[in-house]
């Protein structure tokens, strides 16, 4: 198999980066440009803080690069870029712990990865063939995060707001926003920018054609 094309999609919490990643994947699959596609979310690589109590785990700064097992993440991306399979971790966001189970990810022609801090680590950037940053207004991102954490992660409103003000917003300004300068493409207005997504898909298809041609 030819070397996979690795597409990195970054952006702040609630920016719509997962929506962009999903729509790019759907467009590539529907268009027949990629024979196979793998998706890897950086959120699966949070560290396993089993030695901490639940209360201590709630106080962890989950928006700092140190909260991620970046060595494992980089190793898995490097394996996928070599055409090797991996066992992706599964993270339990209610318990704040890594689950015992893993998800097998087979080698693919295109590997789509997403995460808030994707472009902060130089090793991750080096593995990405195309780097996309999804931008959105801060108030829109906060509303989306509230909906997600309350409905999907079972967290109370007060806890979400406190976390946003103490860690999410400061870490966004310190790490996420500055990493935008590494992007090849910046998508404004979040995950519903159809024109930008079409342009990204066209760019990826040209890369695939150049690689295979």
DSSP for 136-147 reads --HHHHHHHHHH
User: Is residue 196 assigned to a domain?
Assistant: yes
Q: What per-residue confidence (pLDDT) applies to 24?
A: 85
What is the pLDDT confidence band of residue 148, given thresholds at 50, 70 and 90?
A: confident
Tell me if 13 is assigned to some domain.
yes
pLDDT tens for residues 101-112? 999 999 998 999
pLDDT at 213: 65
Q: What is the mean pLDDT of the chain?
A: 88
> Residue 88: pLDDT band by 50, 70, 90 thresholds?
very high
Mapped onto helix, strand or coil, the DSSP state of residue 102 is: strand
Q: What is the pLDDT of residue 38?
A: 92
Distance of CA 13 to the CA centre of its chain: 10
In a domain, 170, yes or no: yes
What is the count of structural domains for the chain? 1
147 occurs within a structural domain: yes
Q: Which residue has the higher pLDDT, 127 or 13?
A: 127
pLDDT at 205 over 90: no
pLDDT at 152: 74
pTM (predicted TM-score)? 0.85
The mean-pLDDT minimum among 78-82, 107-111, 116-120, 209-213 falls in 209-213
Evaluate whether residue 83 is within a structural domain: yes
Ranges of H-type helices in the chain: 17-31, 54-58, 70-81, 122-127, 138-151, 157-163, 169-171, 194-212
- The CATH number for 96's domain is 3.40.50.300
Q: What pLDDT score does 31 carry?
A: 55
**Residue 176, in any domain of the structure:** yes
Q: What average pLDDT score do residues 42-65 get?
A: 92
Residue 142 lies in a domain: yes
Closest CA to 38 of 84, 102, 73, 90: 84
Beta strands 110-115; 37-41: pairing state: parallel
| Residue 213 resides in a domain | no
Least confident of 51-60, 66-75, 99-108, 117-126: 51-60
Domain limits for position 129: 5-208
Mean pLDDT, range 52-79, rounded to an integer: 93
């Amino acid at each position: 198999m030819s070397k996979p094309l690795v597409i990195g999609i970054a952006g702040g919490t609630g920016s719509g980066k997962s929506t962009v990643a999903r729509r790019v994947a759907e467009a590539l699959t529907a268009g027949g440009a990629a024979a196979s596609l793998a998706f890897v979310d950086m959120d699966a690589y949070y560290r396993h803080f089993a030695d901490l109590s639940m209360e201590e785990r709630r106080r962890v700064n989950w928006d700092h690069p140190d909260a991620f097992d970046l060595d494992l993440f980089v190793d898995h991306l490097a394996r996928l870029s070599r055409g090797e399979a991996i066992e992706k971790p599964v993270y339990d966001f209610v318990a704040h712990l890594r689950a015992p189970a893993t998800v097998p990810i087979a080698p693919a022609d295109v590997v789509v990865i997403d995460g808030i801090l994707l472009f902060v680590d130089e090793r991750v950037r080096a593995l990405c063939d195309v780097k996309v940053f999804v931008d959105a207004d801060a108030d829109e991102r906060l509303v989306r995060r509230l909906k997600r954490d309350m409905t999907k992660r079972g967290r109370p409103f007060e806890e979400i707001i406190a976390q946003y003000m103490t860690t999410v917003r400061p870490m966004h300004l310190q790490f996420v926003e500055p990493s935008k300068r590494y992007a090849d493409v910046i998508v404004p207005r979040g995950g519903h920018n159809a024109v930008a997504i079409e342009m990204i898909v066209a760019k990826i298809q040209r890369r695939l054609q150049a690689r295979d041609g």
